[in-house]
Amino acid sequence: MFRRAAQFSRRDAVLLMVGATAMHLVSSFLPGHPTADSSIIINTHLKHVHDTPDTEPLPGPPQVPIADALRVQTVTTTATTTVTLSPDSHVALQTGTDDLPFTSIVDHAPGWTLFRNLYMSDGTLYILSDNRSFPEIRLMTSTGMAAENNPENIAAREPTSHDMDYITPAEARRRWGGTKHNRVSTIQGNTLLVWEPSQFLRHYYHLVAELFFGAQAFWHGAWSAPSEALSNSAKLNHPAPPPLDRVIFAHSNADGWRDDPGFNRFFMRAAFPSITVEVEEDWQDRVVATSNSKGVDRAFHFPYVLLTDRSAAHRGVICGSETQRIAAEAWDYMRKQHKLMGIQAGAWWEPVRSSILNFAGLEVDRNDMTSLTVPKKVVITYVSRQGVSRRKLTDASHESLVKALTELCERKGWELIVMQAEKLTKDAQLEVASKTTVMLGVHGNGLSHLLWMPPTKVSAVIEIFYPGGFAHDYHWTSRALGMSHYGVWNNKYFTYPNEPKVDYPQGFQENNIPVDGKTVAQLVEDRIAGKV
């Protein structure tokens, strides 16, 4: 039952159907591993261009930690008790660029690159190295422009040496070094650097279900030890990665990452309560601060930075030609390395889900499941778009769907929720999602709430398209969480691996989408019974 029933309008939003029949479930059915197919592994991202260093490399770090070096010096300088270090001996240890560590890559997939020791000066990201054995720069970044599908725009998004460049230790020493100390300031902690503009960030789906979904997969994976057994399990609890301390939206202002319904800002503060958000203006401050106006050149240093770029992700095969989902590059890279823990239950996403639901005041069942179970209480949620302006079912189809689902849920003793998200508070929407076993509805943003569904043995998303239409948004995301996805064309349905090609036929966005309610209800029944 709803603990805050007052938040739901029973009249038009929620149908509670509580029957008495026990569920009979054919068990021993597990949703297939989302990517049990033999996907093509393409690993051509590393371009090896071996440069000979133009000067001898920098001396390595001091053999003893600075504190120890100082202590040794103190002891050897004098035997009296009052001696302190002279300023010169202290400075000597920090002179030049001795403490500018080389850049290295922790992990990389197209559009997702975790660097150790990346530098930024005057708006350019610098790889400090005496070789060029790094991923192709166009697979890491772009000019950060909005994307349009025309040749001029595609060319204009190719990164230049202003976006990212190499810097040799000698050049770094020349530009940023000094006789007393270098002019490089460290931005402490872990940074998520978002290079895409506000074009897509202003949508709940794209910010949460793509950008942060991918970032979580990549960040979680980067700090996980590879394990075939743990990654293929449904075990929910895994050691948490270190926190992300800040997110920088380098090409979006404060308004540019917030969606109109307000879910993005809720998500940011609920899922990452301690994260610092910097936007374009803040980034520009850093750019201007390091621009060489009076012959003084300087830089910022990121100890750990996860750089994400939408255009670069689309240059990868998985995003560019298979899924159109930037998160898919991050997810698939970590999956192949067996670093996405508990993939069958979306366990790598669980910390984010738990934070959101706890913040909404909801109980989160975090049993350390070793195998998924069928829920005690089956909840079917129909996300209705009949109250919004476009992409709606015909009235007759909507009625047939509600009627068929009502009959099914009465017969089975399941709960049916018909949710018009725009009429509910955020907490109420999250409450519905957090207990939904099967979520269904017409293709649309409301289905993004699938992110908060509990992992169970029969969890599924059923997406209604105008016949002939198909898109990967909710399809890929459901499957990435270990759930099944079914597409419905009126009185037919399809599922992995027999899916159509992406298509937006005439009628896709319009308000006369047909659906046969009985077909959907039968599919729901078969799904819970483990027959499909």
Q: 5-35: string of b/e by CB count within 10 Å (b at 16+)?
A: eeebeeeebbbebeeeeeeeeeeebebeebe
Q: Which of residues 95-114 bind ligand NAG (CB under 6 A)?
A: 102-104
The answer to whether the CB of 372 falls within 8 A of the CB of 30 is yes
The per-residue b/e assignment along 68-81, b for 16 or more CB within 10 angstroms, e otherwise, is: eeeeebeeeeeeee
CB 296 within 8 A of CB 289: no
Report in angstroms how near the CB of residue 54 gets to ligand NAG at its nearest.
14
Nearer to ligand NAG (CB atom), residue 172 or residue 453: 172
In this complex, which beta carbon is closest to ligand NAG, that of residue 102 or of residue 504? 102
For ligand NAG, the closer CB: 127 or 521: 127
Task: Classify burial at 37, counting beta carbons within 10 Å of its beta carbon; exposed 0-12, middle 13-18, buried 19 or more.
Answer: exposed
Smallest separation (angstroms) from ligand NAG to the CB of 129: 3
Q: Which is nearer to ligand NAG, 57 or 361 (CB)?
A: 57
The least CB distance from residue 193 to ligand NAG, in Å, is 19
The residue among 448, 418, 438, 523 whose CA lies nearest residue 483 is: 438
List binders of ligand NAG among 302-341 (CB under 6 A).
Answer: none
Among the candidate windows 69-77, 125-133, 354-362, 410-418, which touches ligand NAG by CB under 6 A?
A: 125-133
Q: Name the minimum Å distance from CB 108 to ligand NAG.
A: 13
How many binding residues for ligand NAG (CB under 6 A)? 6
What count of other Cβ atoms lies within 10 Å of the Cβ of residue 420? 19
Q: How far is the CB of 120 from ligand NAG (least distance, A)?
A: 16
Q: Site for ligand NAG (CB under 6 A): which residue of 35, 124, 131, 143?
A: 131
Q: What stretch of H or E contains 115?
A: strand 112-121
Binding status of residue 231 toward ligand NAG by CB under 6 A: no
Instruction: State which of positions 174-213 bind ligand NAG (CB under 6 A).
Output: none
Which residue's CB is nearer to ligand NAG, number 133 or number 186?
A: 133
We find the least distance from the C-beta atom of residue 103 to ligand NAG, in angstroms, to be: 5
- Provide CB contacts within 8 A for 151, sequence distance 6+: none
Selection from 448, 450, 416 nearest residue 434 by Cα: 450
Q: Tell me if 124 contacts ligand NAG by CB under 6 A.
A: no
Q: Closest approach of Cβ 523 to ligand NAG, in Å? A: 52
Query: Cα separation of 170 and 172, whole Å?
Result: 5
Specify the residue, 129 or 216, whose C-beta has the smaller distance to ligand NAG.
129
Select from 341, 347, 336 the least CA-distant residue to 230. Answer: 341
Between 104 and 386, name the residue whose CB sits nearer to ligand NAG. 104
What is the closest distance, in whole angstroms, from the C-beta atom of residue 173 to ligand NAG in the complex? 15
What is residue 155's three-state secondary structure? helix
Is the CB of 53 or the CB of 62 nearer to ligand NAG?
53
Distance CA 90, CA 84 (A): 10
List all residues 6 or more positions away from 322 whose beta carbon is below 8 Å from its beta carbon.
Answer: 328
- Which of residues 49 and 72 has its CB atom nearest to ligand NAG in the complex? 49
Q: Which residue has the tokens 């002891």?
A: 75
Q: Tell me the closest approach of the beta carbon of residue 102 to ligand NAG, in angstroms.
A: 3
- Measured from each CB, the residue nearest to ligand NAG is 129
Q: Which stretch binds ligand NAG (CB under 6 A): 129-137, 313-321, 322-330, 477-485?
A: 129-137
Q: Which is nearer to ligand NAG, 173 or 235 (CB)?
A: 173
Strand-pairing partners, residue 166, are: 127
Nearer to ligand NAG, 129 or 191 (CB): 129
Closest CA to 321 of 38, 34, 39, 32: 39
Of 9, 133, 358, 373, which one interacts with ligand NAG (CB under 6 A)?
133
- How many other C-beta atoms lie within 10 A of the C-beta of residue 243? 12
Binding mask 437-476 for ligand NAG (x = CB under 6 A): ----------------------------------------
Q: Which of residues 470-529 bind ligand NAG (CB under 6 A)?
A: none
Shortest reach from residue 314's CB to ligand NAG, in Å: 27
Q: Do 196 and 251 form a contact (C-beta atoms < 8 A)? A: yes
Query: Is residue 487 within a helix (H) or strand (E), and if so which, with residue range?
Result: strand 484-489
129 interacts with ligand NAG by CB under 6 A: yes
> Which residues lie near ligand NAG (CB under 6 A)?
102-104, 129, 131, 133
